[in-house]
């Protein structure tokens, strides 16, 4: 009816849910919901959201008055077709209303009830309106039958399937198409499996064409036919999503491990690289060594005499170590002074109070470094001063640096304060002999693991095909075998052979998947180590928390020129961005 004759409540508002708009107007204007009505000015074309289709309606909301058409109805959807049934109690004043007015009310019913997809054309709906109008003209009952008013969509059987592409899967274990069954499903391997880099394209999720969707008359996408859905429903700020007409593209916003936690795609921080990344072949031999604790009987004498060689598992020296002495062990602790011509070789950790000699270890922690040399495979910490010394390690922390020291770091150098401008810093892990050795070993292990993974994949495909063939025989027999067992009857040997073959192949397939999971984790850690060395310029940081005087020199990699700090700096991280330009970032001390 013409809303201009009734008290207007809301005018020319655009909504996608008319029922909600009426409820909000009722609360806002303190009018009972049953006393509100609406008219439609415009209906938009069908629009698509992520999970549903919808329309926008431009409507007026007004207080209900007399209307020549009142319809009592119910809607029912079956087999993706929605029908309307009109009940006695409906009324049409045929002296004022034509079938066109009835048609208008039917279209309002559909809009209010959220029927947006596959609504039949006006010609079809007019025939329904005419049947209702005729019943009142003839003063007969409204036909007691459902009138179909909308049909959803069932996808064509021939529609091409669209599969997500998991770009982070560098080993082809997650299939992205119908031609090959995936060996592993995304993210089933835990949180530390797939390592990704900032800016890397992770996933391409095709936007399904309308013809590929099953759509209800209310617009909801009931069952996309593109195979398994993505294993997450949200993503963290660590992930950037971009949309093209064809797909959603997911990018990494930082380095780390890709993970899905509580349905959210995110990137977990990288674990620190330690020496156990590479296979250890001497662990069993190391267990046979004895723990050793030595001390000096006289404070005027060394705990370890000049030229003496000490070798054990956990070695503790309570006192000084003389010239030419060599201390070897898994872990070595010197509670004294290491002579400038003495040497420590620790497979794991070396802890030294004052070092003037040479320390080689996986991790080294030194209180005071005076003209000594430290080479550590993983990390070095100098808790006091480092003076006229040489330090080589992937990760280095120094409390205070002074007097022509040379510091070579692979990934990270952190210094509390630098006392003068006569120091030289190199960011190049391959100049560290132990790291270079491990790098070459990592390349070799990577090659071998890739060969193993390829062989496992081939074997997996073969076993899966065999299992599929056996399953065709196995499935029909299951019921027969159970029946024979319930009857305490003998199971034919032919049946038993099929069951045993099925169970054996199933175990082999599971074992191959587990082997692949282990190898992928190993490869991910190795590839991270290799990446950090190959792209050292953009994966490292040099940080001074308090003072970095001008005159100090930095060098990134063998191919880079020397960089002289030309101004006094404080609380700064110096590094190169991905474009190769030097950057200074302020840090807290």
Predicted pLDDT at 537: 58
140-168 burial code (b ≥16 CB/10 A, e <16): eebeeebbebbbbbebeeeeeebbbbbbb
Q: Which domains does the chain have, with CATH numbers?
A: 8-146 (no CATH), 159-168+191-268 (2.40.50)
Q: For the chain, how many helices (H) and strands (E)?
A: 6, 33
Q: Considering the chain, what is the average pLDDT of its residues?
A: 84
- Between 394 and 512, the more confident residue is 512
At 422 the three-state DSSP class reads coil
Lowest mean pLDDT among 74-83, 95-104, 314-323, 566-575: 566-575
Distance CA 487, CA 279 (A): 55
Mean pLDDT on 453-480 = 88
- Between 96 and 154, the more confident residue is 96
Q: What percent of the chain is modeled with pLDDT above 90? A: 44
Predicted pLDDT at 481: 79
pLDDT at 275 over 70: no
In this structure, what are the phi and psi dihedrals at residue 473, rounded to the nearest 5 degrees? -85, -35
Distance CA 70, CA 102 (A): 9
- Between 299 and 458, the more confident residue is 458
Q: Show the 3-state SS of 28-65.
A: HHCCCHHHEEEEEEEECCCEECCCEEECCEEEEEEECC
Distance CA 416, CA 389 (A): 16
pLDDT at 225 over 70: no
Predicted pLDDT at 276: 41
Could you tell me which of 63, 69, 62, 48 has the C-alpha nearest to residue 13?
Answer: 62
249-270 burial code (b ≥16 CB/10 A, e <16): bbbbeebbbbbbeeeebbbeee
Mean pLDDT on 343-354 = 94
Q: pLDDT digit string (tens) for 4-47?
A: 445 899 999 999 999 999 999 999 999 999 999 999 999 999 99
- pTM of the predicted model, to two decimals? 0.60
Lowest mean pLDDT among 62-71, 350-359, 421-430, 504-513: 421-430
Evaluate whether 410 touches 435 at the Cβ level (below 8 Å): yes
Distance CA 230, CA 523 (A): 24
Predicted pLDDT at 540: 66
Mean pLDDT on 139-154 = 92
């Amino acid at each position: 009816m013409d809303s201009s004759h009734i008290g207007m409540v809301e005018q020319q508002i655009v909504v996608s849910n008319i029922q909600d708009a009426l409820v909000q107007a009722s609360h806002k204007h303190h009018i009972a919901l049953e006393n509100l009505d609406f008219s439609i000015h415009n209906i938009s074309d069908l629009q698509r959201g992520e999970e549903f289709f919808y329309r926008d309606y431009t409507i007026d909301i007004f207080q209900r008055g007399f209307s020549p058409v009142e319809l009592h109805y119910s809607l029912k959807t079956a087999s993706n077709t929605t029908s309307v049934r009109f009940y006695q109690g409906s009324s049409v004043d045929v002296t004022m209303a034509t079938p066109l007015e009835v048609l208008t009310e039917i279209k309002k019913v559909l809009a209010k009830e959220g029927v947006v997809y596959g609504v039949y054309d006006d010609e079809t709906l007019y025939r329904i309106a005419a049947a209702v109008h005729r019943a009142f003209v003839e003063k007969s009952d409204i036909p007691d039958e459902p009138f179909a008013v909308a049909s959803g969509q069932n996808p064509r059987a021939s529609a091409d399937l669209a599969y997500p592409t998991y770009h982070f899967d560098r080993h082809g274990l997650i299939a992205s198409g119908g031609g090959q069954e995936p060996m592993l499903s995304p993210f089933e391997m835990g949180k530390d499996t797939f390592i990704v880099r900032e800016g890397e394209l992770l996933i391409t999720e095709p936007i399904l064409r309308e013809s590929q969707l099953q759509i209800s008359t209310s617009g909801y996408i009931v069952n996309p036919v593109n195979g398994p859905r993505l294993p997450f429903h949200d993503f963290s700020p660590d992930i950037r999503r971009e949309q093209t007409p064809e797909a959603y593209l997911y990018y990494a916003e930082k380095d780390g491990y890709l993970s899905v936690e509580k349905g959210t795609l995110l990137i977990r921080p990288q674990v620190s690289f330690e020496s156990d990344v590479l296979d250890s072949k001497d662990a069993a031999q190391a267990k046979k060594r004895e723990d050793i604790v030595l001390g000096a009987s006289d404070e005027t004498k060394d705990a370890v005499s000049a030229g003496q060689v000490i070798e054990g598992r956990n070695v503790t020296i309570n006192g000084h170590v003389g010239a030419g002495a060599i201390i070897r062990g898994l872990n070595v602790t010197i509670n004294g002074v290491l002579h400038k011509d003495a040497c420590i070789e620790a497979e794991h950790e070396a802890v030294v109070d004052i070092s003037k000699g040479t320390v080689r270890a996986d991790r080294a922690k030194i209180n005071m470094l005076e003209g000594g040399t430290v080479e550590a495979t993983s990390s070095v910490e100098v808790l006091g001063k480092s003076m006229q010394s040489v330090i080589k390690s992937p990760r280095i922390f120094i409390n205070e640096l002074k007097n022509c020291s040379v510091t070579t770091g692979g990934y990270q150098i952190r210094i509390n304060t630098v006392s003068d401008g006569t120091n030289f810093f190199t960011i190049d892990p391959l100049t560290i002999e132990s790291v270079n050795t491990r790098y070459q070993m990592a390349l070799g292990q990577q090659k071998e693991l890739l060969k193993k993974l390829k062989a496992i994949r081939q074997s997996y495909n073969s076993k899966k095909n065999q299992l599929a063939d056996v399953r065709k025989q196995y499935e029909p027999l299951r019921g027969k075998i159970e029946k024979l067992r319930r009857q305490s009857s003998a199971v034919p040997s032919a049946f038993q052979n099929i069951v045993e073959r099925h169970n054996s192949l199933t175990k082999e397939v599971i074992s191959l998947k587990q082997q692949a999971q282990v190898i992928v984790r190993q490869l991910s850690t190795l590839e991270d180590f290799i990446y950090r060395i190959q792209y050292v310029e953009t994966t490292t940081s040099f940080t001074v928390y308090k003072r970095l005087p001008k005159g100090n020199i930095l060098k990134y990699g063998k191919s880079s020129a020397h960089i002289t700090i030309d101004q006094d700096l404080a609380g700064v991280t110096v590094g190169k961005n991905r474009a190769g330009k030097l950057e200074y970032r302020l840090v807290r001390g």
